[in-house]
Amino acid sequence: MAIVKTTLSLTDLDRRWMDGMIASGEYVSNSEYIRNLIRRDKESRTETPAEIAYIRAKLIKSEQSGFTDLGRDEILAKSKAELRKNGVL
C-alpha cells in the first residue's frame, strides 16, 4: 500500500494532545496516531452483515410491537451493546 503525504491543520490544544500521546510512548509518531484514529473511525462505521441483520430484526420487532420509548439511536446503541456482550461484535 502506497504512503501519501498530506498536510493536517490542528488547533494548538489538539496538537498538544497528540504530542502528549506520543510522549507517553503509546504512539511513536504523529502519522501512527492519525492512522490509528482513522482505523478506529472505520471500524466504528462498518457493521458486519450479522450486525446489520441483528439490528434490522430488533428495529422491526420494536416497530411492530409499538411499545418502546427508545429512539432509533438508542435502539441502535442497545443492539450494538448486546452484540458485543454476545461476542458477535
Instruction: Dump pLDDT digits (tens) for 34-43.
Output: 999 999 998 8
Q: Domain limits at 79? A: 49-85
Instruction: Dump pLDDT digits (tens) for 67-79.
Output: 777 888 888 898 8
Shared domain for 55 and 74, answered yes or no, is yes
**Residue 76 included in any domain:** yes
Shared domain for 56 and 81, answered yes or no, is yes
Shared domain for 81 and 58, answered yes or no, is yes
- Judge whether 43 and 52 are in contact, CB under 8 Å: no
Residue 66 pLDDT > 80, yes or no?
no
Q: What is the pLDDT of residue 88?
A: 79
Burial class of residue 21, CB neighbours in 10 A (0-12, 13-18, 19+): middle
